[in-house]
């Protein structure tokens, strides 16, 4: 196998980043022997902090406290890569959960949620006007990152199994033949996809990966719903298929432990992790230490098996909600809309019949009639273009609220269709 040239993927801005000396000193001080005296860093003295103890109780009855020394670490600056014991625990977790090939060549960096990770990866790889492969509906947090860079979004159409490999290959072949700039990265949210709720099947994952190898692009595998799927079979991550070192995997604790902790982590080949780490040194220095220490203590108490048990509980919890919203959608939207039962994640993607654009229906009629959902156009390349879909989230609303929401959505659709009919009638009479 040919060695990958990662400098090909990095923008000039990313290549110009240099380590901040103070950050490097923190890294050195953290791993230095206890006998080392450091006057190098500008750390505040923990004795001045008002907190003396933090205790945490878990739903399973267990609990832990951060005593004085742990609290000292938890409230202090740490190396940019992350709280070292947590980084080590995440390495072990990742190895066990995905058995990634080329493990020795990979590294991990803790980020403030996958949004932080994906924005830093994209800014390391995509320069102004560069092409970027994305499925034809995708998580809007990605667009928010690349839009100011006037990136060329190369949309890959999807079916019920995700981006269609034949079209991906054909798109790349045509670009190559015509001499167009070739994309260096593809964004994929493969499990419980936001907004469509699909899971990309293994064979398709393999095919997309093969195409990435053929056309030399990276895969940004944004997988926050990996453990929130409703299939019997465990999805095999792109990371576990990555024999060439071209997958950048983003994990997030937002959906499975808590979003307010703002903790995620990125696993990729060391040179790409290094670029993100340098960017972090120039932004928020490191992800919040207190969150990292709490997470570390939790992982230590639960261990791998305890965490997996928690994830199983989540799956059961969200699957029940998925079943309820699907049943309600069948009940109220029969004949008005089409949808697939979500295979994972938090979202039901509903395509409305006879309405070209759901934006006004939701943002005006919906808001005044007490039901809000996300209009489908928000997940498209150009949100100002018409889209007949709606994304309904089933993660948080109570069953009663879901019932009310679906009932009100049916009323909205009927009212919108009636208005369209009236307008068409008036147009026909006028002409
Ligand atoms: C696909 C996807 N990626 C990233 C994020 C951002 O998550 P985080 O809280 O980890 O930044 C979300 C949140 O909704 C998401 O759905």
In a domain, 52, yes or no: no
Question: Which of these, 42, 60, 110, 101, lies nearest to 82 by C-alpha position?
Answer: 110
C-beta of 258 in contact with ligand 1 (< 6 A):
no
pLDDT on residue 238: 98
In a domain, 110, yes or no: yes
3-state secondary structure of 32: coil
pLDDT on residue 31: 87
In a domain, 60, yes or no: no
Helix axes 399-430, 289-333, angle to 10 degrees: 60
CA angle, 263 as apex, 109 and 50 as ends, to 5°?
110
C-beta of 72 in contact with ligand 1 (< 6 A):
no
Question: Residue 136: how many CA atoms within 13 Å on its side-chain side?
Answer: 15
353-379 pLDDT tens trace: 999 999 999 999 899 999 999 999 999
Query: In angstroms, rounded to a whole number, what is the distance separating the alpha carbons of residues 120 and 110?
Result: 12
State how many domains the chain has. Answer: 2
Cβ atoms of 224 and 174 within 8 Å: the answer is no
219: which strand partners? 186, 247
The verdict on 226 and 250 lying in the same domain is: yes
pLDDT on residue 149: 94
Domain CATH for 352:
3.90.1150.10
Domain end residue (candidates: 303, 328, 351):
303
Query: In angstroms, rounded to a whole number, what is the distance separating the alpha carbons of residues 317 and 325?
Result: 13
Q: Give helix then strand counts, H and E, for the chain.
A: 14, 15
Query: In angstroms, rounded to a whole number, what is the distance separating the alpha carbons of residues 290 and 77?
Result: 10
Q: Which atom of ligand 1 is nearest to the CA of 117?
A: 11
Whether 69 has a pLDDT exceeding 90, the answer reads no
C-beta of 139 in contact with ligand 1 (< 6 A):
yes
pLDDT on residue 185: 98
Helix axes 270-282, 114-125, angle to 10 degrees: 110
Q: 260 CA distance to ligand 1 centroid (A)?
A: 12
The verdict on 340 and 266 lying in the same domain is: no
In a domain, 199, yes or no: yes
Question: Which of these, 424, 10, 39, 327, lies nearest to 184 by C-alpha position?
Answer: 10
The verdict on 138 and 261 lying in the same domain is: yes
State mean pLDDT over 83-89: 97
Q: Which atom of ligand 1 is nearest to the CA of 262?
A: 9
pTM over 0.85: yes
Domain end residue (candidates: 303, 333, 357):
303
The verdict on 334 and 365 lying in the same domain is: yes
| Of 431 and 295, the one with more pLDDT | 295
Residue to mutate, 122, 140, 141, 188, ligand 1, most ligand atoms under 8 Å from C-beta: 141
For the chain, the average pLDDT equals 95
pLDDT on residue 417: 92
In a domain, 293, yes or no: yes
Q: Which of 21-35, 56-70, 127-141 has the highest mean pLDDT?
A: 127-141
Q: Is the dihedral of CA 357, 369, 372, 312 positive or negative?
A: negative
Whether 1 has a pLDDT exceeding 70, the answer reads no
In a domain, 2, yes or no: no
pLDDT on residue 2: 66
110: which strand partners? 265
| Of 30 and 151, the one with more pLDDT | 151
Least reliable range by pLDDT among 152-156, 260-264, 424-428: 424-428
The verdict on 224 and 90 lying in the same domain is: yes
In a domain, 26, yes or no: no
Cβ atoms of 368 and 332 within 8 Å: the answer is no
Q: For residue 430, name the pLDDT band (cuts at 50, 70, 90).
A: low
Phi, psi of 328 (to 5 degrees): -65, -40
The verdict on 341 and 281 lying in the same domain is: no
The verdict on 346 and 202 lying in the same domain is: no
> What range does the domain containing 290 cover?
71-303
Question: Which of these, 124, 118, 119, 121, lies nearest to 13 by C-alpha position?
Answer: 124
Cβ atoms of 356 and 386 within 8 Å: the answer is yes
Residue to mutate, 115, 122, 195, ligand 1, most ligand atoms under 8 Å from C-beta: 115
Taking CA atoms only, the protein residue closest to ligand 1 atom 6 is 115
Is 245 exposed, middle or buried (CB count within 10 Å of its CB: 0-12, 13-18, 19+)?
buried
Q: 129 CA distance to ligand 1 centroid (A)?
A: 25
The verdict on 240 and 340 lying in the same domain is: no
Cβ atoms of 136 and 157 within 8 Å: the answer is yes
Q: 228 CA distance to ligand 1 centroid (A)?
A: 13
The verdict on 327 and 219 lying in the same domain is: no
The verdict on 276 and 133 lying in the same domain is: yes
Query: In angstroms, rounded to a whole number, what is the distance separating the alpha carbons of residues 353 and 305?
Result: 45
**Which are the contacts of 419, defined by CB distance < 8 A and separation ≥ 6?**
none
**Which are the contacts of 405, defined by CB distance < 8 A and separation ≥ 6?**
371, 373, 392, 397
Q: 140 CA distance to ligand 1 centroid (A)?
A: 10
The verdict on 269 and 346 lying in the same domain is: no
Percent pLDDT > 70 in the chain is: 98
In a domain, 273, yes or no: yes
C-beta of 252 in contact with ligand 1 (< 6 A):
yes
Phi, psi of 34 (to 5 degrees): -60, -30
C-beta of 115 in contact with ligand 1 (< 6 A):
yes
Whether 3 has a pLDDT exceeding 90, the answer reads no
Whether 288 has a pLDDT exceeding 70, the answer reads yes
Cross-sheet strand order for the sheet of 185-188: 106-111, 264-269, 247-252, 218-222, 185-188, 131-135, 152-156
Cβ atoms of 402 and 328 within 8 Å: the answer is yes
Whether 390 has a pLDDT exceeding 80, the answer reads yes
Query: In angstroms, rounded to a whole number, what is the distance separating the alpha carbons of residues 265 and 81?
Result: 10
Cβ atoms of 275 and 124 within 8 Å: the answer is yes
Domain end residue (candidates: 241, 268, 303):
303
Domain CATH for 197:
3.40.640.10
246-279 pLDDT tens trace: 999 999 999 999 999 999 999 999 999 999 999 9
The verdict on 280 and 136 lying in the same domain is: yes
Whether 217 has a pLDDT exceeding 60, the answer reads yes
Neighbours of 56 (CB within 10 A): 13
Percent pLDDT > 90 in the chain is: 89
pLDDT on residue 431: 59
Where do the H-state alpha helices sit in 112-259? 114-125, 140-146, 165-178, 202-214, 238-241
314-333 pLDDT tens trace: 999 999 999 999 999 999 99
């Amino acid at each position: 196998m040919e060695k990958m040239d990662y400098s090909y993927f990095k923008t000039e801005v990313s290549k110009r980043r240099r380590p901040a000396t103070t950050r490097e000193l923190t890294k050195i001080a953290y791993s230095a022997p206890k006998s080392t005296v450091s006057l190098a860093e500008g750390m505040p003295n923990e004795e001045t902090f008002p907190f003396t103890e933090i205790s945490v109780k878990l739903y399973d009855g267990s609990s832990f406290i951060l005593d004085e020394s742990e609290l000292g670490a938890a409230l202090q600056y740490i190396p940019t890569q992350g709280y070292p014991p947590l980084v080590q625990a995440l390495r072990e977790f990742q190895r066990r959960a995905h058995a990634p090939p080329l493990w020795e060549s990979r590294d991990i960096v803790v980020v403030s949620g996958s949004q932080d990770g994906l924005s830093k990866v994209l800014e390391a790889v995509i320069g102004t006007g560069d092409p970027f492969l994305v499925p034809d509906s995708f998580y809007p947090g990605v667009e928010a990152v690349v839009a100011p860079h006037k990136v060329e979004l190369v949309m890959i159409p999807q079916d019920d199994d995700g981006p269609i490999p034949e079209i991906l290959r054909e798109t790349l072949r045509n670009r190559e033949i015509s001499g167009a700039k070739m994309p260096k990265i593809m964004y994929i949210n493969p499990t419980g996809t936001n907004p469509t709720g699909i899971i990309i099947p293994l064979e398709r994952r393999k095919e997309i990966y093969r195409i990435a190898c053929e056309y030399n692009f990276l895969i940004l595998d944004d997988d926050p719903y990996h453990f929130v799927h409703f299939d019997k079979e465990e999805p095999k991550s792109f990371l576990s298929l990555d024999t060439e070192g071209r997958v950048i995997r983003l994990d997030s604790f937002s959906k499975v432990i808590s979003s307010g902790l703002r903790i995620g982590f990125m696993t990729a080949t060391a040179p790409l992790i290094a670029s993100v780490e340098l960017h972090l040194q120039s932004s928020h220095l490191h992800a919040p230490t207190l969150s990292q220490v709490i997470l570390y203590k939790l992982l230590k108490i639960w261990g791998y098996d305890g965490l997996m048990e928690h994830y199983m509980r989540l799956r059961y919890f969200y699957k029940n909600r998925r079943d309820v919203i699907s049943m309600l959608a069948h009940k109220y939207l029969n004949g008005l809309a089409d949808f697939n039962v979500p295979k994972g994640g938090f979202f039901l993607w509903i395509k409305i019949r006879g309405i070209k654009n759901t934006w006004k229906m939701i943002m005006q009629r919906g808001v005044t009639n007490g039901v809000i959902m996300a209009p489908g156009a928000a997940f498209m390349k150009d949100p100002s273009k018409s889209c007949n879909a709606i994304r309904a989230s089933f993660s948080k609303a109570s069953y009663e609220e879901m019932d009310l929401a679906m009932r009100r959505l049916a009323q909205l659709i009927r009212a919108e269709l009636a208005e369209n009919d009236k307008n068409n009638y008036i147009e026909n009479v006028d002409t």
